Amino acid sequence: MAITLPTLTRTIDDDFTNTWYEIRAEVIDNILDATPYWAALKYHGCLTPQVGGEYVTRTVGYGEKSTQRITKGSVLSQSAPDLDTMGIWNWRYFLVDVNRSVIDDAKNAGKFRIKSYLARRMEAARNAIVQDIETYLHQWGAYYAAPLQPNGLYDICPNNTAEDVDGAAPWNGDGSDSDSQQSGTSNGGISRADGNEWFTNWCAFDGATEDTTDKEVATNASYTVNLLPDMRHFWNLITANQEAPNFILCDQDFYEAYEDEVADRQQVVRNGFTKEAIDLGFDALTFKGATMTYSGKLAGTLHLFMLNLNYVEFVYDPNLWFDMTEWKSSPNQLERVAYIVCMTPGLLTTQPRRHGVMEYAS
């Protein structure tokens, strides 16, 4: 019996969908190992599933109790300070389309061509997801200005100056200003402005007057000469002799300057994520026990991030994470389309004080 057009279309619909779900787990694993940034999030347990919910919320502590010094006859006081507030992150969605034509279906219906036909379409979708989700991680979310964008690196650890730099990092695609270290609400809707310094990250930049109260530090004139001592001082301020960053991400210029400094001193034996990153084929060094690597997405920024990934999360909904929709026909056309959809607010942190960003003018 001859195969009719509707039967052929439904058959290839099923073939595409089945093929995607056969490789879905592998695609997700490949994405998580595709770049050192993703691999670090995976290694440090930053990927947090949440099924549903109107928002993603976290309790953020900021108030403190204090002790009293007393002697005989002292009048005792009491206080009930506000200790916690709520951070709220909105869900964001991104997708990639998979396109077909009934004409292409018919041309590629032979047993020798259908598999390669499916593979080409699926590979194009996979590559788009890998490239775009990596870009999202290095952007900023424009919490109110552009609610389509997932939160990225510059939301959890913004640099000194709000920037309108559409087309270069940090950017969100609409040209509006990013948050700065001391202003904005892109991380959980909590203000970074004066009075909320407890919710700001550390920032080192040219021309700053060192003010550890505001978590601002002055860098020296040139990173090619002063990078190592600046990093050491900045690291110690973030750590406060308590808990250190465990991941350093920078642009290639910084990485190569550091590589020159430590070329004859780098330890041969590397533990933890540094070893895993190298095993995955990435360039990685170690600074005070933390893995240091670079990203092409930061090219030209002269930014270096020191992050404590114990306090970073990438939340996602496992029920809508690389899932494929049904196939849809275009009105009055022979084309069909399905979408691979993801649901996440992006990156979040409840303790910005554990992170810092260095920047140089030259």
79 lies in some domain: no
Taking residues 288-299, what's their average pLDDT?
90
CB 152 within 8 A of CB 173: no
Q: Are 215 and 201 in contact (CB under 8 A)?
A: yes
For residues 132 and 270, give the distance between their C-alpha atoms in angstroms, rounded to a whole number.
31
Please give the Cα distance from 360 to 207 (Å, whole number): 9
pLDDT (tens digit, 9 = 90+) per residue, 172-186? 556 667 788 888 888
268, pLDDT greater than 50: no
The pLDDT value recorded for residue 44 is: 92
Residue 3, pLDDT > 90, answer: no
- For residue 72, being part of any structural domain is answered with no
The token pair that represents 304 in the structure block: 């270096």
* Residue 334 pLDDT level (bands cut at 50, 70, 90): confident
Type of residue numbered 273: F
75 belongs to a structural domain = no
316 pLDDT more than 90: yes
Does some domain include residue 313? yes
User: Is 292 among the domain residues?
Assistant: yes
Residue 76 contacts residue 40 (beta carbons within 8 Å): no
Q: Tokens 């019996």 correspond to what residue?
A: 1
Asked whether residue 220 is domain-assigned, the answer is yes
Q: pTM for this one? A: 0.85
Within 13 Å and on the Cβ side, how many CA atoms surround 93? 9
Residue 199, domain CATH: 3.90.1690
**What integer is the mean pLDDT of 296-318?**
93
Which structural domain, as residue segments, surrounds residue 9? 5-60+86-359
What is the arithmetic mean of pLDDT over 46-69? 87
pLDDT tops 80 at residue 106: no
Tell me whether residue 139 is in a domain.
yes
Number of domains making up the chain? 1
Give the per-residue pLDDT at 82. 66
Cβ proximity of 153 and 305 under 8 Å: yes
The residues that bridge with 340 in the sheet, in sequence order, are 96, 324
- Residues 290, 308: Cα–Cα separation, whole Å: 9
* pLDDT greater than 80 at residue 302: yes
Residue 269: pLDDT band (50, 70, 90) is very low
Whether omega for the bond prior to residue 170 falls within 30 degrees of 0, making it cis, is yes
Is residue 70 domain-resident?
no
Residue 128's identity, in one-letter code, is A
